[in-house]
Amino acid sequence: MSETTQSTAFARPSAPVASARPGPAKAGPAKAGPAKAGSARRRYRNHWWYRLISPIALVLIWQLVSSAGVVSAQKLPPPTTVWRTAVNLVTQNSPAYGTLQGAMLVSLQRMAIGFGVGAAAAIVFALIAGLSRLGENAVDPPLQILRTLPLFGLVPVFIVWFGIGELPKTILIALGAGIPLYLNMFAGIRSVDAKLVEAAQTLKLSRTELIRHVILPGALPQTLVGLRQSLGLAWLALVVAEQVNANAGLGFMISQATQFLNLNVILVALAVYALLGLITDAIVRLLERKALAWRRGLLES
């Protein structure tokens, strides 16, 4: 299409008189969008606690079942007993378990390092595979193979290869976090609207500008979904990783409690895992809401 044809196409008025005439009829819709978005944001801020109703209801049902004797307290201690155990683990330094806050800090540190490594690798591999057919053929098959390998099966292999230090733990967490993020980001890149790419090429954007202004924003919704999935799997991988000769952490606490048949401590550690998982998911949801504020459907949900 020549420059003369493009300028004629963009300059052609569809309704010269009606569109040029200013009036109150056009002022109303222009303000309706921001007002509606602001109303949706206010509803979200006022109703965020609705997500706490179902977890609280589950705890209440758990307490009622335990109090009614439906399940033996030895098999399922009531929440009050688990709470007392958690308080003791916080206030006292147990020779067998240490402190709960100390175990949390160690696990969070491992999680942060492993997740950071896995997420960075996933983003790089997704860009290589998503932007090039040659890159897809080189990167995607090995990652698909890794996706099908069980983490527990990799533990003895990593011990032989990397020893029993922090490195095998970091790699296990990185694998658990990286694969879901890679798959979703790769799918997001490949699902970018072709018309947007054609428009960018018409505007003569460079490849770097195309990736920055078209590809990455278009893949962002799917990438954030993958981020939520990768965080969940990273917490699961952390439990597996902390079984590899760990001497601190929530997984170590579960392992020690299993040897002593202390179900209360196991439930405390699992409850902390669940709480940390909810917190990280809430952070990603907030990031999603901020980054995708332009999506009206997201604001109205």
Boundaries of every domain in the chain: 79-87+98-296
Position with higher pLDDT, 207 vs 226: 226
pLDDT at residue 37 is higher than 60: no
Q: 265: pLDDT confidence band, cut at 50, 70 and 90?
A: very high
Q: What pLDDT score does 268 carry?
A: 93
Helix 216-241 and helix 100-131: axis angle, to 10°?
140
pLDDT at residue 2 is higher than 60: no
What digits encode the pLDDT tens for the residues 155-196? Answer: 888 888 888 888 988 999 999 899 999 999 999 998 888 888
Task: Kindly report the CATH number that applies to the domain delimited by 79-87+98-296.
Answer: 1.10.3720.10
What digits encode the pLDDT tens for the residues 89-116? Answer: 999 888 888 889 999 999 999 999 999 9
Q: What pLDDT score does 274 carry?
A: 87
Radius of gyration of the chain (CA): 26
> In angstroms, what CA-CA distances link 29 with 9, 24, 34?
26, 9, 10
> In angstroms, what CA-CA distances link 287 with 11, 172, 284?
39, 26, 5
